[in-house]
Structure 1
Amino acid sequence: AAQAEVLKLIAERAREITGAALAAMSTPVKDTDTLTVELAIGQQAEAHRGLVLPVDGTLTGEAFTSGAPVSSPDIAHDTRVTAGPPRFAGLGPAVAVPVGAGGQVRGVVLLARGTGAGNFSDTELELLKS
């Protein structure tokens, strides 16, 4: 449960730093090529919790595999969002940021801002990486 607490703090802090409307933290599911949304806070949060996402072809999966932030100018219309409940209505710019230490990615936090909000800046991404 300690890890869950840590991930929750990271998600909350990341959302605060960037003024994101939504923060969703995903972690890898053991022995599969999927990630599960462990916690979500903010706009549309309920629609995200417990979702299982393929690593392949998703924004979150891309960040997990590459170990680097992956952004989207408009998450509501991004092809890298998999099927499932419509969960990005009213949201626009987004970024998926890998979380972990020493080259090991433990999870990915997806942050999204409201439609029409500014994209995530390099400065913000630098802050998030730390």
Structure 2
Amino acid sequence: SGRGEVLGLIAVRARKITGAALAVVAVPVDGTDTLTVELAIGQEADAHRGMVLPVDDSLIGLAFSTAAPVISLDISQDDRVSPGPPRFAGLGPGVAVPIGARERVRGVVLLVRTAGRGPFTEKETDPLRGFAAQAALAMELA
């Protein structure tokens, strides 16, 4: 679908911009308080695909509900990562960036670097927010 292609481009671009090992895109499930992982590329990607995440109790959910980036210094040790299959082996710093504007968040892209790499900074997440806003527009048009 057009939307799927847009999400794929978001994941690839965002991963390239930040040098992330893993990019995960989650979108809201209509009529529920959950998000589903529609797309994942990179390290441990298979473990993420199709996962259903609670909006209230997950790192991705937090970025979705606050419409603001959420930084994790080490995602493999982060309490805000919802329980589920082990899916962050060998990974460390992460950031969840909302796709879209405050009124209308279309989804979230989670970017994770390998363990031992530096944490994400605001200097990096700012351009991502602009890119994610453009991506949301593209999703609307798709």
Which band: TM-score by shorter chain?
Answer: over 0.9
TM-score (norm: length of structure 1): 0.97
Distance between the aligned counterparts of 1:8 and 1:18, measured in 2? 16
Counterpart residue number, 2:14: 14
**Could you tell me the TM-score, scaled by structure 2's length?**
0.89
Structure 1 residue runs without a partner (length 5+):
none
Measured after TM superposition, the shift of residue 103 of structure 1 is 3.1
Aligned residue in 2 for 1:43: 43
Cα RMSD over matched residues? Answer: 1.0
- In structure 2, runs of 5+ residues without a counterpart are 131-142
Decide which structure has greater helix share: 2
CA displacement at 1:101 relative to structure 2: 4.4
Distance 2:102 2:23 in 1: 23
Question: Deviation string for 1:72-116 (max 9, x for gaps)?
Answer: 000001111111110001111000000024731000000000001
Shift of 1:2: 1.1
Q: May I ask how many residue pairs the two structures share in their alignment?
A: 130
Q: In the alignment, does 2:98 pair up with 1:98?
A: yes
Identity %: 63
Conserved 8 A contact 2:55-2:64: yes
Distance 1:123 1:78 in 2: 22
Which stretches of structure 1, 4 residues or longer, exceed 2 Å deviation after superposition? none
Letter of the structure 1 residue corresponding to residue 111 of structure 2: L
**1:74 equivalent in alignment to 2:74:** yes
2:136 is aligned to none
User: Is residue 90–residue 115 contact of structure 2 (8 Å, CA) maintained in 1?
Assistant: yes
